[in-house]
Amino acid sequence: MARNVNFDPNHHYMEAGLESPMDEEGVHNSFHELIEEQTQNGGLSEALELQQLQRDFDEEGRDSVAFLSSPGRERWRGRQGQREDISEDDEDQLDPLIAERWSSATLRILSSMPSRTIGRSRGAIISQYYNRTMQLRRRRQSRPSIRDFSRSARPSIRGYGVETDGMEADNVEVSKRDHLVNNLQNLSVSDRVRMLRAMPLSVAEKSDLRRLALQKERRSFSHSQIPCCSRLKYYIIIAVRQSWYSWLSFLHSLQLWQVALKTVSGRFGTGVLSYFLFLKTLLFFNLFLFLVTGAFLVLPQAVHPPPPPPQGQVNFSGLELLTGGGCFSHSVMYHGYYSNFTLHKSCTDDDRLHNLSASNGTGAGCASKHLSYNMPLAYFFTIGMAFFITCIILVYSMSKSFGQSFRIDKSHSILAMKVFCSWDFKVIKKTSVKLMSDNICTQIKELLAEVNHKHDKKTVSQRLWRLVVHSLAWSICIGSTIACVVAIYYFSDYMHEDLRSRASSPTKYTLLSEARLLALPVVVSLINLLLPGLFNAAAWMEEYDSPSVRTYVAISRNLMLKVSVLGILSYHWLGRVAVEPQNLGLQCWENFVGQELYRFLLMDFIFTGLDTLFGEFLWRLFSEKVLRRSRRPVFDIARNVLELIYGQTLAWLGVLFTPLLPAIQILKLLLLFYIKKGSLMMNCQAPRKPYRASQMTTIFITLLCFPSFLGASVAVTYTMWSITPSSSCGPFRGLKTMFQAGKSWVAQLGKDNPNLSLLAWVHSYLVENPLFLFLAAGIFLIVIYFHTQVVDGQRKIITLLQEQIQNEGEDKKFLITRLQSIHEQKRTSNRRLTSQDTAC
C-alpha cells in the first residue's frame, strides 16, 4: 500500500482531546447534525472511503484508520466523554453499541451506509428508482434477468460505486437524474405513470421529471423520420388513451354514496364502514345479474307477450306486493310466463297475433328475413352464464383480498403493529377520536398484561370449568338450532297439508287464503332474528382467549343456523313441492317456488327493517331512561353481514324461478342502506373491541362464495339436471329436464348443419361423459397441491432470510466495534508517542 501514514493530523487529535469536557457544542448528539454536515460536504466521499476501507481491511487495518480520519480531521470535535469511559471498557463489551461512545468519524461512516441513506436525500431516492426503472425496462424487453424485482428499500451498492469514480457529488446526482429521465422515456406510458406516482418525491419534483421525460420524447419524436403508418398508430394510441381516461373519470364520478360513507367512517371507523362497503359490493353483483337477465330474458318476452290465461284478469289488490301472487303470477316476473317456443319478430303488422300463436319448434310464419329468438335455450344459457360469470368474479375478488390479508409467517410483532397501524385516520369526529384513543389505550394495556402474564398457567380445575361452560354454551346453540329446524320441517309439512286440503276442496279465492302463505316466511324470519340473540346470551357467559376467537365462534354459530334453515327449506321446495306438484293442485310448481322465494326475501327485509328501526331505537331509550347508562347499543357487524349473505343466497336461489328477483333485491339493498345508516347515526356507538377490517372482509367474501353461492348453484344445477319441469307452464314445458333444452339444441345443430357436427360430437363426449369431469377435477387438485408446496417452500425461505438478516446485523455490530477499538488504539498509541516525544 503506497499510502503514507501521516502522523501530523494526530496533533489535532491531541489538541482537540485536551479541550475541556464542558465544551458541549463539540459533541455530536445525534445523526442529525452529522447529516447536515454531510450534505454540505457531499455524502459520497465517505462512501468511497468505506469501499477503500473494505478493500484495506484484509490487510492491516491500522493504516487505514489514519486515512479514514484525515478528511475528517479538520472537522473533528472530539468526543470528550470517551476519556472517562475508557476505564469502563469491560462493561462495554457487553453492549458496545451505545451511540454516545462512538467517535464522530465512526458516526460519519455509519451515517453514510447505504441502508441509512434511504429517504434522506433525493439522490438516494432517484438512484433507487433508476434501478427500479432499469429492472422494469429489462423485464418489459423480456431479456432474462437474474435479479427479480427487489422489494427492499436498499439501493444497490453497485448503483453507488460505479459512477462515483472521479465525479463530484452534484454531478453524480444530476447524471443520475438524467439516467432516470432516460429510463422513464423508454418505458411505456402506463408504466411511466405508475412509476411516477409511486415515487416518494414531492409533486414539484415529479412534475419536473415528467416534463423532462416528455420534452425529450417530443424532441426525439419530431426529429426522427417516422413513417406515416406508425404515426397513425401513435395517434390511435393517444386517442384510445384519452378516451380511457375520460371513461375512468366518468366511472369515478358515479361513485355511489360517497358522502354517506364518509360520514359513517368519520364517526365509526373502518370496521363499520366495511359493512356498508360489503352492501355496495352486493348491490353491484345484483345489478349485473339484473342487467343480464333483463336484457336477455325479460325484454324479449315483454315485447312478445304470450296469450292471456283462460281464467281472465285478476284485480290488483295491495296484498300482491307481499305475497307475490294474484295479478303478479301471470306476469314477466315468474318462470311460468315465459314461452317455450322460438319467438319471431313479425314481418307484417296484421299477422302479429297470428305469428305469436305459432306452434313449437322452428320457423312457422314468414319465410323471408325474420329475427328468431329461441326462448328455452336463451333461458337456459342466460342463467348458466350469469352464474358462471358471478362465480368467476367472486373467486377473483376472494383470492385478491385473501392475498392481501394472508400472512405467511405467524406474526410476532403484535404490539408493534398495534402502535403503528391501529390509528384509523378516517375518523374525524372529536368524540369518536377520543373513544378510539381510549380503545387503543385499553388494547395496549391488555396486550401488555397478556405478554407479562403469559406464563400464568391455568390450574386444571379452571381449565375443566372453562371446558364445561364452553360445552354447555355449544350444546345450547346446537340444541336450539336443531329444534328450530325440526319446527320448520313440521310447520312446512303442515302448510303443505293445508294447501293440499284446500286445493282438493274447491274454495273461493279469498285474501285470507293467500295471506296464509305468508305464515312460513314470518316464522323463518322470526327464527333468524331471535336465535342470534340467544347465541349472544350464551356467549356472554363464556370466557375466551382473545376477542377475535369470540367473533369467529359467533360467526360460525350464526352460519350454522342459517345454513341449516336454508337447507331444510331447499329440501322442502325441491324435494317435496317440485317432485309431486299435483298433490298441491299446482299447475306450475316453479311459479309457486318463485313466489315463496319472493315472500321470503320480502319478509326478511321487513323484519330486518323493523328490528333496526324499533329494536335499536327502543334499546337506546331503554338504556338511557331506565338503566341510566350512557352506553348505546353497539352495531354488530358480523351479524348484519351474515344477514346480508342470507338475503343474497335467497336471491341467487330464486333467479331461476323469478328472473326479476335481482331487481327486488336491488331495491331492498338500497332501502336497507338508508335505514341502517339512519339508525346507526341516531342510536349506535362505535364498537369497543378491536376489529380487523381486512381479515373480516376476506372472511365475509369467502362466506359469500362458499356456503352461499356454492349452495345456491348446487341447488340450481340439481334443479336443471334432474327435476322435471311442469308440463303446462314455463319455457321448458314438455321436456324431461331443463338441461335437455341445451342437449336438443346441440343435436339439432348437428343435424341441420353437418359442418357443426364436430361440436355435437365434442359435446356428447366431453360434457356428458363423467370421465372427463373426473380427469379435470384430478388435474385441478394436482395443481392446488403443487401451489401449497410452493407456499411452504417460500415460508422456509422467509425464515432463512430472517436468520440471514440477523447475522448481517451481527456482522455490522462486529465491524463497528472493531472500527471503534482500532480507532481508539490508534489514538492512545499516538498520545503515548507524543507524550514520549514531549517527555524526551
Partner 1 sequence: VLFYDCTYFTRKEILRLFYRYRDLAPQLVPLDYTNQPDVKLPYELIGSMPELKDNPFRQRIAEVFSEDGEGNMTLDDFLDMFSVLSEMAPRDLKAYYAFKIYDFNNDDFICKSDLEKTLNKLTRNELTEDEVRMVCEKVMDEADLDNDGRLSLEDFQHMIVRAPDFLSTFHIRI
Residues 661-700 contacting partner 1, CB under 8 A: 692-695
**Which of 11, 19, 23, 32 is in the footprint of partner 1 by CB under 8 A?**
32
Q: Which one, 32 or 787, has the nearer CB to partner 1?
A: 32
**Which of 232, 395, 428, 472 is in the footprint of partner 1 by CB under 8 A?**
428
Q: Which stretch binds partner 1 (CB under 8 A): 112-120, 159-167, 281-289, 573-581?
A: 112-120
Whether 169 contacts 215, CB under 8 Å:
no
Please report how close the Cβ of residue 102 comes to partner 1 at its closest, in angstroms: 12
Whether 578 contacts 589, CB under 8 Å:
yes
Q: Which one, 234 or 785, has the nearer CB to partner 1?
A: 234
* Chain position carrying cell 463539540: 26
Residue 31 engages partner 1 in binding (rule: CB under 8 A): yes
Q: How far apart are CA 814 and CA 61, in angstroms?
A: 14
Please report how close the Cβ of residue 665 comes to partner 1 at its closest, in angstroms: 27
Give the three-state DSSP class for 368.
coil
Q: How far apart are CA 799 and CA 783, in angstroms?
A: 25
Please report how close the Cβ of residue 34 comes to partner 1 at its closest, in angstroms: 9
Cell of 515: 295471506
Helices marked H in 661-769 — which ranges?
661-683, 693-703, 711-722, 739-752, 757-762
Contacts of 685 (CB under 8 A, 6+ apart): 435, 631, 632, 633, 634
Q: Which stretch binds partner 1 (CB under 8 A): 58-66, 84-92, 445-453, 766-774?
A: 445-453
Residue 416 engages partner 1 in binding (rule: CB under 8 A): yes
- Footprint of partner 1 on 804-823 (CB under 8 A): 805-806, 808-810, 812-813
Residue 794 engages partner 1 in binding (rule: CB under 8 A): no
Please report how close the Cβ of residue 760 comes to partner 1 at its closest, in angstroms: 49
Q: Which stretch binds partner 1 (CB under 8 A): 44-52, 414-422, 526-534, 601-609?
A: 414-422
Residue 157 engages partner 1 in binding (rule: CB under 8 A): no
Cell of 310: 283462460
Please report how close the Cβ of residue 130 comes to partner 1 at its closest, in angstroms: 16
Please report how close the Cβ of residue 29 comes to partner 1 at its closest, in angstroms: 10
Long-range contact set of residues 167-170: C-beta below 8 Å, sequence gap at least 24: 168/42, 169/42, 169/43, 169/44, 169/45, 169/123, 170/42
Residue 116 engages partner 1 in binding (rule: CB under 8 A): yes
**Which of 3, 445, 751, 795 is in the footprint of partner 1 by CB under 8 A?**
445
**Which of 12, 216, 426, 502 is in the footprint of partner 1 by CB under 8 A?**
426
Q: Which one, 97 or 756, has the nearer CB to partner 1?
A: 97
Whether 17 contacts 69, CB under 8 Å:
no
Among 274, 270, 279, 406, CA closest to 690: 270
- Footprint of partner 1 on 175-194 (CB under 8 A): 193
Q: Which one, 196 or 634, has the nearer CB to partner 1?
A: 196
- Footprint of partner 1 on 731-750 (CB under 8 A): none
- Footprint of partner 1 on 126-155 (CB under 8 A): 151-154
- Footprint of partner 1 on 249-268 (CB under 8 A): 249, 252-253, 261-262, 265-266
Residue 515 engages partner 1 in binding (rule: CB under 8 A): no
Please report how close the Cβ of residue 126 comes to partner 1 at its closest, in angstroms: 14
Please report how close the Cβ of residue 159 comes to partner 1 at its closest, in angstroms: 16
- Per-residue x/- marks for partner 1, 393-412, CB under 8 A? -----------xxxx-x-xx
Please report how close the Cβ of residue 757 comes to partner 1 at its closest, in angstroms: 52
Residue 40 engages partner 1 in binding (rule: CB under 8 A): no
**Which of 429, 500, 516, 689 is in the footprint of partner 1 by CB under 8 A?**
429
H/E stretch holding 373 reads strand 372-374
Q: What is the DSSP string of 614-648?
A: IIIHHHHHIIIIIS---PPPB--HHHHHHHHHHHH
Residue 629 engages partner 1 in binding (rule: CB under 8 A): no
Long-range contact set of residues 409-418: C-beta below 8 Å, sequence gap at least 24: 409/795, 409/798, 409/799, 414/447, 415/444, 415/447, 415/448, 415/451, 418/443, 418/444, 418/447
- CA-derived radius of gyration, the chain: 38
Residue 800 engages partner 1 in binding (rule: CB under 8 A): no
Give the three-state DSSP class for 341.
coil
Query: What are the CA-CA distances from residue 149 to residues 129, 144, 153, 210 (Å)?
Result: 12, 12, 11, 23
Q: How far apart are CA 743 and CA 768, in angstroms?
A: 10
Please report how close the Cβ of residue 419 comes to partner 1 at its closest, in angstroms: 6
Q: Which one, 133 or 612, has the nearer CB to partner 1?
A: 133
Residue 470 engages partner 1 in binding (rule: CB under 8 A): no
Among 575, 680, 563, CA closest to 633: 680
